[in-house]
Copies of this chain bind each other. A is one copy, B any other.
Amino acid sequence: MDFAYDAKTEELREKLLRFMDEFVYPAEPVAERQLRDAEDPWARPAVLEELKAEARRQGLWNLFLPDPEHGGGLTNLQYAPLAEITGRSPHLAPEALNCAAPDTGNMEVLAMFGTEQQKEQWLRPLLDGEIRSAFCMTEPDVASSDATNIATSIVRDGDEYVINGRKWWSSGAMNPHCAIFIVMGKTDPDAERHRQQAMILVPRDTPGVHVKRGMHVFGYTDASHGGHAEIVFDNVRVPADNLIAGEGEGFAIAQARLGPGRIHHCMRLIGIAERALELMCRRAISRVAFGRPIAHQGVVQEWIAESRVRIEQARLLVLKTAWLMDTVGNKGAHTEIQAIKIGTPLMAEWVLDKAIQAHGAGGVSQDFPLAELWASARTLRLADGPDEVHRMSLAKRELKRYL
């Protein structure tokens, strides 16, 4: 047992921390200004392309991808601390490094399951940061936490598949650079429970694809993440070659996709919580009430101490989960993956709530990043299945040990 990062991780952490200090943090106000001045509500700030170029130049590019040919060749455990750091500037850093959801998961899917042609056409430009992508799974009309509920149909018709259905919360799909969707649907609703689904590539500009609107989270459009689209697929036809892996493979692909995705989300949440704690401390030191900085108030001290305790605990469990995925695989890490999915957003939400409170009314406003970060942490208690579903599933596995 050893709690130190290995040499490669330490080297990359240092490099990345320097990149954050030199390029990312200074770009934050620039990006904010560029977004405020943009006419298109879904525009991405120009400074982001500069960050991407610089990151790529420095070798801080596609680190999330274990494949050393296309990505960083890192284990989950090596990548996790880097993802945490990008979480400190979540609107810029992950995309600057080409490590932003949902592209990461989509690239993994293509790298693992894609044909050579699919890789050439979609994986390459994604790896180069030229285009972005979306993942279309959740549907408005059914409880999507139960995957067998999916109603979108993918029907073979000659050399094509015809797709019909309605999706929402397709994150990233409002981004004008988003060129390709991976759509989950059913090719055979009568097959065995986990063999009904398939995934298929649908270019965003295919006739019949109607991006209807962006969903809000609290009052935010999440434009910096490409929003969350509601999309209607109305007799959308794509070549049969666009199917990924094969009919009936959709559920298995989804499972393979989820593990790393959750690690990344959770590590970024740790970074978000760290930033919130830093902001809380700085505010506590600088804000005077009743004659002295509020850092002297016992209640504020409790928030700070308790935040530190919770962050440390959460980080270690995420790191251990990464290690388990590396050593015993996603399946062997199932309990821990669920545990961090349950525990980390709650932790981040708690720290952010206290940081907001320490900022007074400013904390809920656009003058600090806290309220928006809170909204995203809160939403992660629902994304990929609500906490309650994960707790139920985890409990059943725990109970099985005694049956």
A74 at the interface (CB under 8 A from B): no
A319 at the interface (CB under 8 A from B): yes
With A and B bound together, what is the CA distance between A323 and B383 in angstroms?
35
As for how many copies of this chain the complex holds, the number is 4
Using known A-B contacts A143-B289, A215-B365, A382-B364, determine if residue A1 contacts B323 with beta carbons closer than 8 Å: yes
Chain A stretch 177-218: residues in CB contact (< 8 A) with chain B? 215-218
A363 contact set on B, CB distance < 8 A:
382
With A and B bound together, what is the CA distance between A146 and B292 in angstroms?
12
Instruction: Tell me which of A314, A367, A402 has the highest count of chain B C-beta atoms within 10 A of its own C-beta.
Output: A402
Chain A stretch 241-258: residues in CB contact (< 8 A) with chain B? none
Distance to closest chain B CB from A226 (angstroms): 16
A176 at the interface (CB under 8 A from B): no
A395 at the interface (CB under 8 A from B): yes
Complex contact A364–B392 (CB within 8 A)? no
A378 at the interface (CB under 8 A from B): yes
Complex contact A218–B218 (CB within 8 A)? yes
A53 at the interface (CB under 8 A from B): no
Q: Which of A41-49, A102-110, A155-163, A299-307 contacts B (4 or more CB under 8 A)?
A: A299-307
Can you list, as one digit per residue, whether each of A110-149 has a CB less than 8 Å from chain B (1) or not (0)? 0000000000000000000000000000101011111001
A294 contact set on B, CB distance < 8 A:
143
Distance to closest chain B CB from A280 (angstroms): 9
With A and B bound together, what is the CA distance between A58 and B306 in angstroms?
42
With A and B bound together, what is the CA distance between A122 and B329 in angstroms?
52
Which residue of chain B lies nearest to A317 when distances are taken between CB atoms in the complex?
B313
Complex contact B394–A3 (CB within 8 A)? no
Distance to closest chain B CB from A20 (angstroms): 17
Using known A-B contacts A138-B361, A221-B219, A366-B216, determine if residue A395 contacts B302 with beta carbons closer than 8 Å: yes
Using known A-B contacts A1-B4, A143-B288, determine if residue A278 contacts B402 with beta carbons closer than 8 Å: yes
Using known A-B contacts A1-B77, A361-B138, determine if residue A339 contacts B308 with beta carbons closer than 8 Å: yes
Pick 24 A–B contacts, CB within 8 A, sort by A.
A146-B290, A216-B219, A217-B371, A218-B219, A218-B364, A218-B375, A281-B402, A285-B399, A285-B403, A298-B392, A302-B388, A302-B391, A304-B398, A304-B399, A305-B395, A309-B342, A309-B394, A313-B314, A313-B316, A313-B343, A316-B320, A361-B382, A361-B383, A363-B382
